[in-house]
Amino acid sequence: MASSLESLNRWVEEVAGLTQPAEIHWCNGSDGESRLLKEHMLARGDLLELNQETHPGCTLHRSSPTDVARVEHLTFICTREREDAGPNNPWMDPAEAHAKVDALFAGAMRGRTMYVVPYCMGPIDSPLSRCGVEITDSPYVVANMRIMTRMGAPALSRIEREGRFVKGLHSTGELNPDKRFIMHFPEELTIKSIGSGYGGNALLGKKCHALRIGSWQARSEGWLAEHMLIVGIENPEGETHYIAAAFPSACGKTNLAMLIPPESYRKAGWKVWTVGDDICWMTPGEDGRLWAINPEAGFFGVAPGTDRTTNPNALTTIQRDTIYTNVAVTSDNQPWWEGLREGTPVKDWQGRDHDPANGPAAHPNSRFTVSASQCPSWTPMAEAPQGVPISAIIFGGRRPSLIPLVFEARDWSHGVLVGAAMGSETTAAATGAVGVLRRDSMAMKPFCGYNFADYFAHWLSFDKPGAKLPKIFHVNWFRKGADGRFLWPGFGENLRVLEWIIGRCEGRTGALETPIGLVPDSTDIHLDDLGLGPSAIRELLEIDAAGWRREVDAIGSYLDSFGARLPDRLKQEQQRIATALAQSRPVAQAASA
């Protein structure tokens, strides 16, 4: 191979010497290679064929019952200085981490094929994209990486041109939870993962590279790697605004990325375009705006809860050429999970005869892996090398009280504080405790590859002369009334809120100034055909000053937990809002719908 690939070849040889595979296969990403790999996995039982009449090209993978989700307590950031990892990350000294994990890798691939997987995160010709190479002994991982990234010969050619790449070493090992580690070495642009074959633990291009290592790269290179969807909203005049949005889990992220407009909006000519559902890389352009790409080529989505009511676009997307993981199956071998209104499971996610006494038929974290281009709302702009310009950034969480349906940050500094403070309150169904607030800054708590205080400072650094930064908003689809029911209908109706947000970006929609930011008057959002009563509308948009004073005090305590590295500007913003709240009067909302 070319001399510029010598470092890659040396690394592959070193890994082979350590792991001792039976053979080495360099993946080219071709259709023929994919077909042979699939046949190999079907023959071995790694994949099971589903009903090819109803789900052509679809297969099922069942993982070990002890290997079904991310393992945050075994996921380490290994920087030379502990403080660089920050209080938001488990930390291990790099020398100790290498020694610990390399001892597990020794001989781990005996009798197995070692796959070398060159990949590109982002469109192959985009200057915003970054490349990596994953070495793995899991054909299941190879098959998923082919869907989730631009994998194979084109990526290898780009690596040859650029001479740089993120190194990712993975082995399923013994699938032993006691011998499972996901180690990140940001200063070395290296990932080492062993003992798991599941999703983000094993598909190293996803959370490991695109967020944990990516966020470190982004800080050093002057861009942002974020846990955000990217969605385009096209108005009846044919103008499209692109929005990036960050939500913690269970807050409707994928649903918003694939939103279908309400009928009245569809008839008026509104359209929604999906660029990405999970990760967003944003870079300042020459025009001062932030331009974004989705570094992924596929969706690795949670199956339970996906149905024709919640997300019809997602359900349509996964009817063909999809890898399902840990779902149940029906008597005629169709995939099934809780939330589907059709079909009855006969085998659960472990392949046992379905018995409700064993728990859900599909694992609650069961997944689908599918090409993003199969989504009915996918846009070719997802492949645009320059990316798409971001008009607005939205943060949001699951808050049954206090937080209004939507508010706008007064400026970039305030917006960074809004993102830093975001979080969700737990429910009894999920945790056994109601109202426990878990802060998850920018939805990045499990994924930021360095100290959150430095991360906040990096966000603030984009506010400089000449910058034309997106406006920042916060939404809350989950506010409840006194009867415990959601006040807002959600799903497609969320477009009404996005319409107001776009109007604010264009400077043509009104808002009321409050101590916490700019809030729409009820007449600023199109609510007249929703059937919401005046009291519900008032409650959705009200600002409870006393409650917000307590909230802002709690935000201050949270910020203090990051110590001396916390930017003074962020603390000053929190104190500015506290002062404004102390002097505030109730904000009157129009009661009309």
The residues, any chain, with a CB within 8 Å of residue 492's CB and separated by 6 or more, are 259, 260, 261, 262, 265
Closest CA to 54 of 286, 272, 332, 456: 332
- Token pair for 424: 């969700």
Confidence at residue 591, expressed as pLDDT on a 0 to 100 scale: 42
Confidence at residue 252, expressed as pLDDT on a 0 to 100 scale: 86
Q: CA-to-CA distance for 318 and 302, rounded, in angstroms?
A: 12
- Token pair for 215: 């966020």
End-to-end CA distance of the chain: 68
Confidence at residue 587, expressed as pLDDT on a 0 to 100 scale: 55
Confidence at residue 429, expressed as pLDDT on a 0 to 100 scale: 38
Domain 298-374 has CATH 3.90.1300.10: no
Binding annotation for GTP:
250-255, 367, 398, 491-494
Binding annotation for Mn(2+):
207, 227, 278
What's the pTM?
0.96
The residues, any chain, with a CB within 8 Å of residue 356's CB and separated by 6 or more, are none
The per-type count for the chain, helices as H runs and strands as E runs, is 18, 29
Q: CA-to-CA distance for 165 and 118, rounded, in angstroms?
A: 9
Q: CA-to-CA distance for 190 and 171, rounded, in angstroms?
A: 15
Q: CA-to-CA distance for 226 and 244, rounded, in angstroms?
A: 9
- Token pair for 178: 């006691």
Distances (CA, A) of 409 to 222, 464, 470, 512, 556: 23, 17, 11, 12, 17
Binding annotation:
70, 198-200, 207, 227, 249-255, 278, 365-367, 398, 491-494
Active-site amino acid positions: 251
Confidence at residue 426, expressed as pLDDT on a 0 to 100 scale: 66
CATH code for the structural domain at 229-296+382-582: 3.90.228.20
CA 49 to chain centre: 28
- pLDDT by 10s per residue, the chain, length 593: 445 689 999 999 999 999 999 999 999 999 999 999 999 999 999 999 999 999 999 999 999 999 998 899 999 999 999 999 999 999 999 999 999 999 999 999 999 999 999 999 999 999 999 999 999 999 999 999 999 999 999 999 999 999 999 999 999 999 999 999 999 999 999 999 999 999 999 999 999 999 999 999 999 999 999 999 999 999 999 999 999 999 988 788 999 999 999 999 999 999 999 999 999 999 999 999 999 999 999 999 999 999 998 899 999 999 999 999 999 999 999 999 999 999 999 999 999 999 999 999 999 999 999 999 999 999 999 999 999 999 999 999 999 999 999 999 999 999 999 999 999 986 543 434 656 899 999 999 999 999 999 999 999 999 999 999 999 999 999 999 999 999 999 999 999 999 999 999 999 999 999 999 999 999 999 998 899 999 999 999 999 999 999 999 999 999 999 999 999 999 999 999 999 999 987 555 544 43
Confidence at residue 519, expressed as pLDDT on a 0 to 100 scale: 98
Burial of 538 from C-beta contacts in 10 A (0-12 / 13-18 / 19+):
middle
Domain 3-46+72-222 CATH superfamily: Phosphoenolpyruvate Carboxykinase, domain 1 (3.40.449.10)
The residue length of the chain stands at 593
Binding annotation for substrate:
70, 198-200, 249, 365-367
Confidence at residue 251, expressed as pLDDT on a 0 to 100 scale: 85
Provide the b/e sequence for 472-493 (b: ≥16 CB within 10 Å). Answer: bbbbbbbbeeeeeeebbeebbb
Structural domain boundaries in the chain: 3-46+72-222, 229-296+382-582, 298-374
Which 8-state DSSP code applies to residue 480? B
Cβ contact 509:500 at 8 Å: yes
Confidence at residue 528, expressed as pLDDT on a 0 to 100 scale: 86
Cβ contact 372:294 at 8 Å: yes
| Structure confidence by residue, pLDDT tens digits, 399-452 | 999 999 999 999 999 999 999 999 998 654 343 465 689 999 999 999 999 999
